[in-house]
Chain A
Amino acid sequence: MNHLIPPFDAYRVFVEPWTINLSQTLLMTSIALIVALSAALIGNYLVLRRMSMLGDAISHSALPGIVIAFLVSGSRDSFALTIGALVAGIVTTVLIEFIHRRSIVKVDAAIGIVFSMLFALGVLLIELVPHTDLDPDCVLFGQLEWLGVHASSDPMKALFASSQFQLLFGVFILTAALNLTFFKELLVSSFDPLLAGAQGFRPTFIHYAMMCMLSLVVVSAFEAVGAILVIAMLILPAATAYLLTNRLRTMITLSITHAVISTIGGIHLAVWLDCPASACMVIAGTFFFCIAWFIHTRPSRQVDDTQETESLTNSAESELAPH
């Protein structure tokens, strides 16, 4: 068992990262924080709009985009690949919306079909087109650790100069700015699209703008946390905050707090367990979610039993008549 879980050594876990390994911790933490914060900000609306799994879909279907970008640009240059992934992400959301709107297929099935088909297409393309040696794993699994490795005397300066940091930071600023500027539009179109439409806010446009942001966040996070763990970073902070508060503003603040503490907690957990930091961040986030789950009491409902019944019945399959 000692091999499995290293003994807890407070000095190694808490002191070393901030003393002898200071610069590496700073590098990793700053990147992880930026990613976690952008994801948490957009995640709030995903959870409220019941579209959490779109993050999963986009992260899978980025593969064909990356392959095609690789074929077109002929380089492994991360900028080109990011653009490819981004376009694929947007195509995914458009396709999902198209299938969902133009047929009786439900949203969840549309998501599942679109992403699995696009992923299959990506794998097939890799095999079909000669001279690609892209590895799906390589593309979709990121390593936060690599960003912590440094050689220069002033690692932070080198970090700020790196294109990857600039991309992530830009995405973060954009997400934060849009969140602040369009808070009320996002709020009203998520809560009551009819009212938003009646007030002339164009909920469809807001939906697609949000999907673009989501693609951007997911794709830019690939290198840092990988395709699958970014889903957790989208959903966990929002879900945790959602259990603890009844106000969107507080929810956003709490989700940011969750993102920050699970990032820092996760990095220390990773030092202790000697495991990948991104996975540990998710585990820490899950832990905080469980705490919130434990302490949260379901708001007392006076009348809503009927309402719940109603919504449950509504969700039943009306098209499918028992014969």
Chain B
Amino acid sequence: MKAPLTFSLLLGLFLSSCTKSSRTESPDVIATTTMIADMVRVIAGEDVSVGALMRPGVDPHLYKASPADVSKLNQAKVIFYNGLLLEGKMEDLFERLAGDGKAVHAVSDSVPESRRLARQDTEGHPDPHIWGDARLWASTVDDVVAQLSATFPDHKEDFEGRGEGYKVDLETLHRWAEKRVAEIPEDRRKLVTSHDAFAYFGKACGLEVVGVQGISTAADPSVADRTRMVDFIKANGITAIFVESSVNKALIEQIATDADVSVGGELFSDAMGEPGDVRTVNGDSYDVGTYIGMLKHNVNAIVEALR
């Protein structure tokens, strides 16, 4: 007797809720990482809705999708991803989609071979963390604009205008970053972090970057890495080292204790901060949930700690 009752109850609930709800809106453009989503949002403005698959603070290595993400991808008219294996196995998927005629674009495609940095530990696969270099990041804007314009021709001029504006902003950001880094005495321009995410950043700003681990965040480092890093820090008189927001902090914190230096702060490497998290340094306010804010945060944290 109970079963039909339960069933009709469920059915009633189901029908009543049908009438109330409306279709969930899905963004027209989907980007994988928060950095790309931010760039696309700036370019697209109010004209096109933009969504990100990964949420702030999520290590791309550990990202897990949900069905909602799938429907976002399926309904998106354009998909942007980073490429160079940052997204791991997801890239196979994007290549398959591209093959099927979907507008899928790897941001790193715009970066010419010559400007890609080789990874030390894996041959043939360039370092994917291209957003570290604001200029390099700016060089990808044109392709993003072109892709968006191809899909949404009505807004072509708007996209181009905003794209140019963003490039100028990024150029300004780059100059600012260079200037800030120049405040650090030359022999102290050494950035010690958890993993190899700052190669482009270091090259752009004139910092020498040393990571304890390689590109992958899940690899198991050895005790010898720890002692060597301590030696390195002492030999170079480094005063501060840095943890990353999306990587296990234990090792860097331990090295800082061993080497008796401070942890200079938390840098954003593979994911940006929460939108709306506004920080103020030297009277300059920025939202670490945006690309520019994130980069400014990183530069400020490094400069303040190493200066």
Do A and B share a direct contact in the complex (Cβ within 8 angstroms)? yes
Chain A residues packing against B (C-beta within 8 Å)? 8-12, 14-17, 20-21, 23-25, 28, 123, 126-127, 130-133, 135-138, 141, 143, 145-146, 148-152, 158, 267, 270-271, 273-277, 279
Contact A152 B100 (CB under 8 A): yes
Contact A131 B220 (CB under 8 A): no
Contact of B65 among A15, A20, A145, A267 (CB under 8 A): A145
Contact A267 B67 (CB under 8 A): yes
Residues of A within 8 A of B50 (CB): none
Q: List 19 interface pairs A-B (beta carbons < 8 Å), by A numbering.
A: A11-B17, A20-B23, A20-B75, A21-B74, A24-B74, A25-B67, A127-B220, A130-B123, A131-B121, A133-B216, A136-B218, A141-B64, A143-B89, A143-B90, A145-B67, A149-B70, A273-B66, A276-B65, A279-B64
Given A8-B17, A135-B219, A271-B68, 4 further pairs, Cβ under 8 A: A10-B14, A127-B219, A135-B61, A145-B69
Interface residues of B in 86-139 (CB under 8 A from A): 88-90, 93, 96-97, 100-102, 119, 121-125
Contact B71 A24 (CB under 8 A): yes
Contact A276 to B66, CB < 8 A, known contacts A21-B71, A24-B71, A131-B123: yes
Residues of B within 8 A of A274 (CB): 66-68
Residues of A within 8 A of B21 (CB): 9-12
Contact A146 to B90, CB < 8 A, known contacts A10-B14, A132-B122, A133-B215: yes
Chain A interface, DSSP helix/strand/loop, else mixed? helix
Residues of A within 8 A of B70 (CB): 21, 24, 28, 145-146, 148-149
**Interface check B9, CB cutoff 8 A:** no
Contact A137 to B61, CB < 8 A, known contacts A11-B21, A146-B93, A150-B74: yes
Task: Report B126 CB to chain A, min CB distance, Å.
Answer: 12
Complex: chain A residue closest to B124, CB-CB? A131
Task: Report B182 CB to chain A, min CB distance, Å.
Answer: 35
Whole-angstrom distance between the alpha carbons of A132 and B101 in the complex? Answer: 31
Residues of A within 8 A of B124 (CB): 131
Residues of B within 8 A of A267 (CB): 67
Task: Report A32 CB to chain B, min CB distance, Å.
Answer: 11
Whole-angstrom distance between the alpha carbons of A8 and B16 in the complex? Answer: 12
**Cβ-closest 10 pairs across A and B:** A151-B100, A151-B102, A10-B17, A145-B65, A11-B21, A133-B122, A148-B70, A10-B14, A151-B97, A152-B100
Contact B93 A149 (CB under 8 A): yes
Contact A148 B68 (CB under 8 A): no
Q: Considering residues A24, A146, A276, which has the most beta carbons from chain B within 10 angstroms of its beta carbon?
A: A146
Contact B218 A14 (CB under 8 A): no
Contact of A149 among B74, B89, B121 (CB under 8 A): B74
Contact A146 B65 (CB under 8 A): yes
Contact of B66 among A16, A136, A275 (CB under 8 A): A275
The contact size tier of chain B is 35 or more
**Interface check B281, CB cutoff 8 A:** no
Residues of B within 8 A of A132 (CB): 122
Contact A148 B74 (CB under 8 A): yes
Whole-angstrom distance between the alpha carbons of A123 and B219 in the complex? Answer: 8
Task: Report B233 CB to chain A, min CB distance, Å.
Answer: 23
Contact A150 B65 (CB under 8 A): no
**Interface check B73, CB cutoff 8 A:** yes
Q: Considering residues B66, B125, B218, B220, which has the most beta carbons from chain A within 10 angstroms of its beta carbon?
A: B66
Residues of A within 8 A of B3 (CB): none
Whole-angstrom distance between the alpha carbons of A238 and B46 in the complex? Answer: 53
Residues of A within 8 A of B17 (CB): 8-11
Whole-angstrom distance between the alpha carbons of A150 and B23 in the complex? Answer: 21
Residues of A within 8 A of B123 (CB): 130-131
Contact A133 B62 (CB under 8 A): no
Whole-angstrom distance between the alpha carbons of A219 and B71 in the complex? Answer: 27
Q: Considering residues B74, B100, B124, which has the most beta carbons from chain A within 10 angstroms of its beta carbon?
A: B74
Residues of A within 8 A of B101 (CB): 151-152
Contact B14 A14 (CB under 8 A): yes
Whole-angstrom distance between the alpha carbons of A151 and B93 in the complex? Answer: 10
Residues of B within 8 A of A148 (CB): 67, 70, 74
